[in-house]
Amino acid sequence: MASRHHSPAPQGGGRALVASLTGSSIEWFDYFLYGTAASLVFNKLFFPSFEPVVALLLSYLTFSLTFFIRPIGGVVFAHIGDRIGRKKTLVLTLSLMGGATVAIGLLPTYASIGIAAPILLVLLRVIQGLGIGGEWGGALLLAYEYAPAHRKGLFGSIPQVGVTIGMLLATLAVSLMALLPEEDFLSWGWRIPFLLSAGLVFLGLWIRSGIGETPDFEAAKASGNVARMPIVETLQQHWRAVLIAAGLKVVETAPFYIFSTFVVSYATGNLGYNKIDALHAVMIAAVVASFSIPVMGWLSDRLGRRTVYTLGILLSAAFVYPYFILLDTRAVWGLTLATVVALGLLWAPITAVLGTLSSEIFSTRVRYTGITLGYQLGAALAGGTAPLIATWLLSEYQGRWQPVALYLLATAAISLLAVLCVGRVKARDLAAPVTKRD
């Protein structure tokens, strides 16, 4: 049970929460904008010479590729974050992500420059991956390390709301553009949201410029408790915690991309749903999740992180088969209900607690590196590959959804094992001796 002792929030905690949420929302808007466009646009404009299923797989491959780049970006920017500070790192990641997104909006298509188009698309997606790789850990720690002890769960859940807000804004932007005639949408309409992200990036940078460094990092810096080589220390002394953090991420990320990204192409391509109806279902679920996540974070301060997280896993696993059965109704209400329950309600307790639960198994001197490495490894193994694996399974098994359901249940089993190991790993790794290299 979480402690009921009330400690005052560090000065600037409210501003830090706003900065964390705003920056996180903008970063994820840029990121999900690509994911939504991958299922509707990029397969047609950048891979037009392939069969439809192959083109969609290639489009998803460019989406999933960056999940293997994210750990690299995570290590680089987490090193900066653990050595120099959280705030400076977040300015760098937001600038990198925003610049790549605007460049995608200006990118010529395959019809204009041939094979160079998909090559440049992949390059810009890699840059996005580097930026988002370091963003999550910094945004989380900006909130977590400013939080009072009895509100760590609530504060730690706020950056996670940025995920759903970013997804909501991206889906809304593409939905509005999708109202255009198909020819106009494919010609220029899809580019508008990418270009408009430039204004959001400047807003995020302005907000983040008004906050100071986190109290935890300032205390560590003042005492000289700053790691010279955070990645080396993390892998030597905290490798178990990294593996646990990666395992915790699996059930948060694979179902998320199935319920938010893959469902759009599956519903429209396999079940005959209208594109707008599929996007609207995701948007409604994102709104619900944006309210559910902080509630679950607040609840974790009372019931405990592991209790809330485990409950989320079990309920999500129980809903996997009903989810696909509802989609099979081929009715808009079935699609909407399935998406809202899976993404808006049952995914919320998992993602709300993930960041705080991961943060609590690492010491301050390697916390940025530890949570980022675990998070991005889990995302690489189970996140970006999820739409790709699901699309391949549907193709391999003649459109039957049961193999996809079993895949989702496997991710739940992995994370359930990880959360059962949290207590032992936390006690062992936090007690690990610190080797002073400074």
Tens digit of each residue's pLDDT, the chain (438 residues): 444 445 445 555 677 788 888 878 887 887 778 777 776 787 778 877 666 777 667 776 776 677 778 788 888 888 887 777 777 788 888 888 888 889 999 999 888 888 888 888 888 888 888 888 888 788 888 888 888 888 889 999 998 998 889 888 887 887 788 788 888 888 888 889 889 888 888 888 887 777 777 776 777 667 666 667 778 888 888 888 999 999 999 999 999 989 987 888 889 888 989 888 988 898 899 899 999 999 999 999 999 999 999 999 999 999 999 999 999 999 999 999 999 999 999 999 999 999 899 988 887 778 888 888 898 888 888 876 787 888 889 888 888 899 999 999 999 999 999 999 887 665 555 555 544 443
Torsion, Cα of 408, 409, 411, 413 (10° steps) = 170
Neighbours of 102 (CB within 10 A): 18
Burial class (CB in 10 A: 0-12, 13-18, 19+), 287: middle
- 8 Å CB contact between 166 and 32: yes
- Rounded to an integer, what distance in angstroms lies between the CA atom of residue 183 and that of residue 378? 38
pLDDT at 1: 44
297 conformational bin, left if phi > 0, alpha if psi -120 to 50, beta if neither = alpha
- What are the residues whose beta carbons fall under 8 Å from the beta carbon of 301, sequence distance 6 or more? 2, 150, 151, 152, 153, 154
One-letter amino acid at 170 equals A
Phi first, then psi: give them for residue 432, nearest 5 degrees.
-65, 140
Closest alpha carbon to 230 in 85, 68, 418, 421 = 85
- 8 Å CB contact between 387 and 64: yes
- 8 Å CB contact between 308 and 252: no
Phi first, then psi: give them for residue 185, nearest 5 degrees.
-60, -45
- What are the residues whose beta carbons fall under 8 Å from the beta carbon of 123, sequence distance 6 or more? none
Separation in Å, CA 101 to CA 20, 55, 322: 20, 22, 36
Task: Choose which CATH entry (1.20.1250.20, 1.20.1290.10, 3.40.50.2300, 3.30.70.20) describes domain 13-209+228-429.
Answer: 1.20.1250.20
Full-model pTM: 0.80
Neighbours of 112 (CB within 10 A): 10
Closest alpha carbon to 286 in 351, 331, 203, 356 = 351
Radius of gyration for the alpha carbons in the chain, expressed in angstroms and rounded: 21
- 8 Å CB contact between 308 and 228: no
